[in-house]
Amino acid sequence: METLVVVGIIGLILTILALALRFKDAEARDLVRIANMHSLQDSLTILKNQTGAYDRAACDLTFVSLCSRVEKSELRKILPVLVDLNDPTAKNLACADRATCESRACNYSFVKLEQTDYEVLFHLERGITGYPAPGCYHLTAAGIEKL
């Protein structure tokens, strides 16, 4: 009987630890997402300062990382790691619209890229300090905001 109690307690402790680690993993992925968005924002700001327009990035309205394949893109010169700028868990699903972005993790996607403005959608799993709610966020020239 004592052995069963000990095994039960150990199982409970292991379950609690596994859940805690799962939440920490999600937070770590959210930190990566925010860091990626700040890198992209900084690079787009440099691009605008150097060329006078955000659309000189010459990116399609799709995955941000695919812009690295566009030869005439000025952004790939400024951000050499652009090819690797992908969501940590959802590289093949674009955040093409707000509904997709709200429902699950999706890869960073340009939804607007104009001379004076841009918008990139991305998803946070749990939220972190400064961005506390899970769900869809967008990056614009003004910064990161929850949609």
pLDDT (tens digit per residue) in 51-76? 999 999 999 999 999 999 999 999 99
pLDDT of 135 > 90? The answer is: yes
What pLDDT is attached to residue 25? 83
Of 75 and 23, the structure prediction assigns the larger pLDDT to 75
Those residues with Cβ within 8 angstroms of residue 89's Cβ, 6 or more apart along the chain or in another chain: 29, 105
pTM, two decimal places = 0.83
Which ranges of the chain does DSSP label H, i.e. alpha helix? 2-51, 75-78, 98-103
What pLDDT is attached to residue 26? 87
What pLDDT is attached to residue 131? 92
Give residue limits of the domains in the chain. 2-146
Is there a contact between 90 and 105 (Cβ–Cβ < 8 Å)? yes
- Rounded Cα distance between 56 and 70, Å, is 11
Of 105 and 21, the structure prediction assigns the larger pLDDT to 105
Those residues with Cβ within 8 angstroms of residue 76's Cβ, 6 or more apart along the chain or in another chain: 67, 68, 70, 82, 83
Which pLDDT band, with edges at 50, 70 and 90, does 12 fall under?
Answer: low
Average pLDDT, the chain: 89
Share of the chain above pLDDT 70, in %: 86
pLDDT of 105 > 70? The answer is: yes
